[in-house]
Amino acid sequence: MSSDHTKKPIHSLIVDTGPLIKNDPSVSTLLAKAHTIYTIPAVLAEIRDPDTRSRVDTTLVPFIHLRTPRSDSIKFVTDFARKTGDLEVLSKPDLNLVALAYEIQCERDGGDWRLKKDPSDKKQRRMSASTGDKTNSTSERPKTPTNKKTSASPSTPKSNKSTQDLEEQFVDLNMQPHPMQSPMSPGMLENIPEVSEPESESETEDSGSEGWITPSNVHKHMESDKKNGSRPDEEIKEPLEAALLTSDYAMQNVTLRMGLSLLSPSMSRITELKMWVLRCHGCFSITRNMSKQFCPRCGQATLIRTSCSTDEDGQFRIHLKKNFQWNNRGNVYSVPKPVHGTANGKDRGQGGGKNGWGQGLIFAEDQKEYQRAQDEKRRERKKDLMDDDYLPSIMSGDRSSGGGKVKIGVGKGINGKKHRR
């Protein structure tokens, strides 16, 4: 084994498109940390910027190895992502990258014994370590009483009477309160508050300064902001056989839950991943497509943005509010009856209640009104910045309500005074 291989903490590094485009980490860092760098041909094809493409071709392509995973590895990762709920937001290159990391990890370990085959499985990567700890603990347990007996045998007799006398003495010692209430000298009492007061002041100052950005800790906060503040990283202590470097949250979730090693742009190992999902309050279904407005299972508009986390052992947890209560305001109201138009389409009819407030109400995802509204929103986003008639929204006063999403129903103020008049 060469000395160069022993110095590098990563043997095989699989790289995604995001770090290559952002150049974070740099090429020199990748070459210094990893012995071999892998990627798939589709990753290089996704780089379309001329400057970025020339930089990657000149600095990284001579050192990178292109490899395509086998079909059985892709099938395993696809089934695993389907069980975790990430398949709907993962593209084909994403699945191929995770499959390549899985395939290389199995080759380096001689099998998939340390990886999870199902998201519901418990810890499997540390099975050997836990069994080793149990054997060591069981082998060390009989040694401790023998050492106590050998050390106590020359000083204490072996008769039962002596042990009973010792027990009675210990009981008497525990029952007597006088040694515990020994009088203290006045000098000692005077010294106690003088020592404790400055300690309490320093503690209050430290506790009050926590959370504030000061000139002394501004660099620490800037580094935490670079890491998005949501992924606790740790330095690589043991050499990694295979690791995946990506900025895609869905890929990171599948990688951690599978048991593969995951790296951040600072080339430190990610041990916990925090992200957001949409959870249905009606059927408790979870989807990772944050653009959804209706539940994929029950079809109701009851999706709530919920935080979740995945640790290094692949345990997925959803963090719910303790005393959350669903707001039913504005759910009960009378929908105006539809009014038919004419055959030639000239007279569409008024309808929709007073001032037409009930026209084009959206209650389901398969309504043509919802599909039409989505197409209009999509056309609004495609604006030509070089157009002479283009005016930024900050100058025109146009504000997109609801995060730019389509309005569902009539809102929360349907039973207000302005609608009852």
Question: DSSP string covering 128-154, please?
Answer: HHHHHHHHHHHHHTTHHHHHHHHHHTT
Nearest residue to 46 via CA among 92, 87, 78, 101: 92
Give the per-residue pLDDT at 402: 58
Mean pLDDT for each 10-residue chunk of the chain (421 residues)?
63 93 90 93 92 92 93 94 88 94 93 86 52 42 43 45 58 51 47 42 46 75 56 67 91 90 86 88 91 92 91 83 84 78 67 75 91 84 66 65 75 60 52
* Paired residues of 308 in beta bridges: 275, 318
Judge contact between 103 and 70, C-beta under 8 A: yes
Domain with CATH 3.40.50.1010 in the chain: 3-123+229-268
- Exposed, middle or buried by CB within 10 Å (0-12, 13-18, 19+), for 39? buried
- Predicted pLDDT of residue 233: 57
- Closest-CA residue to 421 (of 323, 353, 332): 353
Q: What is the pLDDT of residue 106?
A: 94
Cβ atoms of 282 and 302 within 8 Å: the answer is yes
Is 106 among the annotated ligand-binding positions?
A: no
Could you tell me which CATH number the domain at 3-123+229-268 has? 3.40.50.1010
- Residue 134's pLDDT is 42
How many other CB atoms are found less than 10 A from the CB of residue 255?
27
pLDDT at residue 140, rounded to an integer: 42
> What stretches of 157-248 show up as alpha helix (H) in DSSP?
160-175, 186-209, 218-226
What pLDDT score was predicted for residue 167? 59
Query: Does this model's pTM top 0.75?
Result: no
What's the confidence (pLDDT) of residue 192?
Answer: 42
What is the residue type of 269? R
Which residue's structure tokens are 């305001």?
A: 329
Is 283 part of any known ligand binding site? yes
Q: Does 308 carry a binding-site annotation?
A: no
CA–chain centroid gap for 135, Å, is 35
- Determine the length of the chain: 421
Question: What pLDDT score does 204 carry?
Answer: 42
